[in-house]
Amino acid sequence: EMKSKANGIHANNTDVDSRTDHTRWRLKDDRGAQTWHYLDSDDELEKWPQSIADKYHLGLPTNLPDLPPAKTPLECARNGLTFFEQLQLPSGHWACEYGGPMFLLPGVVIAWYVTGTPIPDAYRREIRNYLYARQNKHDGGWGLHIEGHSSVFGCAMNYVTLRICGASAEDPRMVKARGTLHKLGGAASGPHWTKWWLSVLGVAEWEIVNPVPPELWLLPDWAPIAPWRWWVHIRYVYLPMSLAWSRRWSMPPNDFTRELRAELYTQPYESINWAGHRNSIAKEDNYQPKHWILNTLNWLLVMIWIPFLRTDWLVQRAENWVWTLIKGEDENSDYADLAPVNGAMNLVACHIVDGPDAYSVRRHRERIWEYLWMKDEGVLCNGTNGVQSWDTAFLIQAAVECGFATDPRWKPCLTKALGFMEDQQMRENATGADQPYRQKRKGAWGFSTKLQGYTVSDCTSEGAKAVMMLQSAPGYPKLISDARLRDAIDIILTMQNPSGGCASYEPTRGSLYLEYLSAAEVFGNIMIEYDYPECTTACVIALSHFRSLYPSYRAAEITAFVARAVQYIRRAQRPDGSWYGSWGICFTYAGMFALESLKSVGEVYSNSARVQRACRFFTDRQFADGGWGESYKSCEDQVWTPHPDGSQVVQTAWVVIALLEAGFPDQEPLRRAVRLLVRRQRANGEWAQEGIEGVFNKSCMISYPNYKFIFPIKALGMYAARYGDDAVV
């Protein structure tokens, strides 16, 4: 096979026969660390047979048997869990595709390319397959996320990714994608992150990138804009971004990147006025336009700071400090990092500073595999290194709601899940250079794994809740001691804002005015932490549950926390009775949580006009078939938008849970909704994948495929507990 010098790029790959043999893929679970392996040799195939979970995730037939048809809610829940149990991995957790965002894989692939990391052939093919499968039908482009309209961010980044993975520029699908990219203005109208990645790749010039000065990290901690106050994701992305920007580091051009230079723009590369395009941005990308304050600041930086005031001494100090913080983050997460964005960027940073053969570079390369996911369409990049702790905690709770914890049938499955939660609780605080800026984590659960190592308020809360629920059930081992539960409670008690609400990873550290400095364009509300009804409720419920089991530990603080949190929930309700959701789509998701908070302090339909308004918001929007369905546009526009495909299983389940928490007095709407859940279930107990379920930063959607099992099971259990297990179909 002809390969060009440039890192295994196939000179003229025509993409015929790009499929790999799906029966050769295996998902490895190493205490929750998930990696997909393609087995080349028949020898290996025999030693490592494909599991049902492998087949399911690959879209291969699982041949799981049809179950006795469900007529009652609990029969339906039982069938659902019978199927879902087959997907539990050896370490006790559940895995899934966690895709949606279309800018993650490009970061990984560009980082591989510029650091000279070989991409295994099976991966290169399946990355191509995935991106082709995900081209928007009408224009061949890609958007910010899998359901989004084509944008420069999506088109430029994924076009480059396909090319690096061997796609030919003449392939008709590439021609179409390029046409759309050019119609949108070409790569020069991309957002900040596109411009940064293309400059690193050496297919744009650094003058097109708005400043990312590492000097900001030299500001004293008391400065209102000091980066430690920013949302953890944005400040950890800023670190490697600023390092490469400061060094103006680009991969040296080669034949392949010179081709890309000719393909990405609407005019010849040499004729482009790079500085003049710093603020060019296609309207399709411009979700949160840069504020004039940031534009002014950028202008001052470019015109005055950089040419006249940015001394070598300062640059050196800033780069050193930024590098120290990058190393801290790498070491605290064993080089997996917070998410694949800064993970890929830190790989580049380590390559720049430590050189291509350093341990840091090699370890990054190893850990990055945990972000990649293989499915029927091909290989994509997950939003985190998995959903392990989060989904497992929810599944435990759903099973308990159904009364399954007292049924020996489910004991092996639930005991394994409990064992996983035990293994994944963080036991030590972070150490090292970035430690002063880190939230405490001893006792916390994160979203994915302990090794990733980031406290999340609601992940800790849902984890603690699941453990408490299951450990109180007869016959379950007490794997987590009282002391360790108290550690979790101590963490939750650090998470409340003065407003009473809770944010995601840390209490809010900076002012709302920091949004004026938001440079990313494609996301909303990205600069600081905010109060979220979802996270707040999780904390409220975990604390309340704990107080009922251990009434003497920090009781006054817990009571005060809960009272203030519920006050926040009340304030966050909109006039129409709804709550805006930030992590699931959208009003159906947040309403479920908010009503659970209110219920926990005894505020329900019978005694609260507020709860009645909330129920009315939902009952007014029930579809004729009994379900609910909400489009992702709700998140973007912050107004209720019905799902174009009608009822969705996940959102129907959320509303059933919400109305049951609220003590809604009329059974009929609930019965119809539950009937829909039963009817949508397949004969083998599974539910089919429908629309995308999750969101972040208002504009980017993300998949939570396990929700279609977890939340119907929970809703069915709660319904049966309230109304009995009578037939609904």
Indicate which residues carry an active-site annotation.
458
156 versus 585: smaller Cβ distance to ligand LAN: 585
Using the rule CB under 6 A, is 696 a contact of ligand LAN?
yes
The answer to whether 134 and 145 are in contact (CB under 8 A) is: no
CB closer to ligand LAN, 264 vs 344: 344
Other C-beta atoms lying within 10 Å of the C-beta of residue 544 = 18
Establish if 263 lies at the interface with ligand LAN (CB under 6 A).
no
**Helix or strand or coil: residue 667?**
helix
List 459, 562, 650, 676, residue binding ligand LAN (CB under 6 A): 459
Q: Rounded to the nearest whole angstrom, what is the least distance from the CB of residue 48 to ligand LAN in the complex?
A: 30
Q: Binding segment for ligand LAN among 241-249, 288-296, 365-373, 696-704 (CB under 6 A)?
A: 696-704
Per the omega criterion (within 30 degrees of 0), is the bond before 586 cis? yes
Looking at 73-81, 260-268, 456-464, 711-719, which segment touches ligand LAN (CB under 6 A)?
Answer: 456-464
Task: Indicate the length of the chain as a whole number.
Answer: 729
> Does 395 participate in binding ligand LAN (rule CB under 6 A)?
no
Least separation in angstroms between residue 515's CB and ligand LAN is 14
Asked whether position 447 contacts ligand LAN by CB under 6 A, the answer is yes
Question: In this chain, which stretch among 59-67, 325-333, 455-463, 675-683 interacts with ligand LAN, using CB under 6 A?
Answer: 455-463
Query: Applying CB under 6 A, does 535 fall inside the site for ligand LAN?
Result: yes
Take residue 418 and report the two structure tokens written for it.
Answer: 């409990």
Do residues 63 and 96 touch, judged by C-beta distance below 8 A?
Answer: no
Of the residues 458, 487, 529, 686, which one makes contact with ligand LAN according to CB under 6 A: 458
Q: Is 504 in the site for ligand LAN (CB under 6 A)?
A: yes
Q: Which of residues 564-593 bind ligand LAN (CB under 6 A)?
A: 583
632 touches ligand LAN (CB under 6 A): no
CA–CA dist 242, 235 (Å, integer): 10
CB of 387 to ligand LAN, least distance (A): 8
**227 secondary structure, DSSP code:** G
Q: What contacts 599, CB < 8 A, 6 or more positions away?
A: 661, 662, 663
* Helix, strand, or coil (residue 523): coil
456 binds ligand LAN per the rule CB under 6 A: yes
CA angle 171, 172, 176 (to 5 degrees): 120
339 binds ligand LAN, rule: CB under 6 A: yes
Stretch in the footprint of ligand LAN (CB under 6 A) among 213-221, 454-462, 609-617, 711-719: 454-462
Q: Which is nearer to ligand LAN, 460 or 681 (CB)?
A: 460
Q: Where are the alpha helices (DSSP H) in 202-311?
A: 232-247, 255-263, 292-300
Q: What minimum distance in Å lies between the beta carbon of 678 and ligand LAN?
A: 27
Residue 355 class from Cβ within 10 Å (0-12 exposed, 13-18 middle, 19+ buried)?
A: exposed
* CA nearest to 536, candidates 466, 592, 611, 618: 592
| C-alpha torsion sign, points 178, 145, 640, 532 | negative
Cβ closer to ligand LAN: 29 or 462? Answer: 462
Q: Are strands 33-38 and 25-30 parallel, antiparallel or unpaired?
A: antiparallel
Cβ proximity to ligand LAN, 83 vs 447, nearer residue:
447
Helix axes 649-662, 667-680, angle to 10 degrees: 150
Among positions 97, 330, 534, 596, the unique one binding ligand LAN when judged by CB under 6 A: 534
Count CB atoms within 10 A of the CB of residue 673. Answer: 26
What is the number of other CB atoms lying within 10 angstroms of the CB of residue 292? 9
**Min dist. Cβ of residue 398 to ligand LAN (A):** 16
Compute the CA torsion angle 507, 510, 516, 522 (nearest 10 deg): -30
| 307 token code pair | 């040419």
Q: Which of residues 355-394 bind ligand LAN (CB under 6 A)?
A: 383-384, 390
d(CA 22, CA 45): 12
Closest distance of CB 457 from ligand LAN, Å: 7
Nearest distance, CB of residue 159 and ligand LAN, angstroms: 20
Total binding residues toward ligand LAN, as defined by CB under 6 A: 19
Is there a contact between 101 and 384 (Cβ–Cβ < 8 Å)? no
Contact region for ligand LAN (CB under 6 A) — 293-301, 632-640, 670-678, 695-703? Answer: 695-703
Residues in contact with ligand LAN by CB under 6 A are 233, 237, 339, 341, 383-384, 390, 447, 456, 458-459, 504, 523, 534-535, 583, 696-697, 702
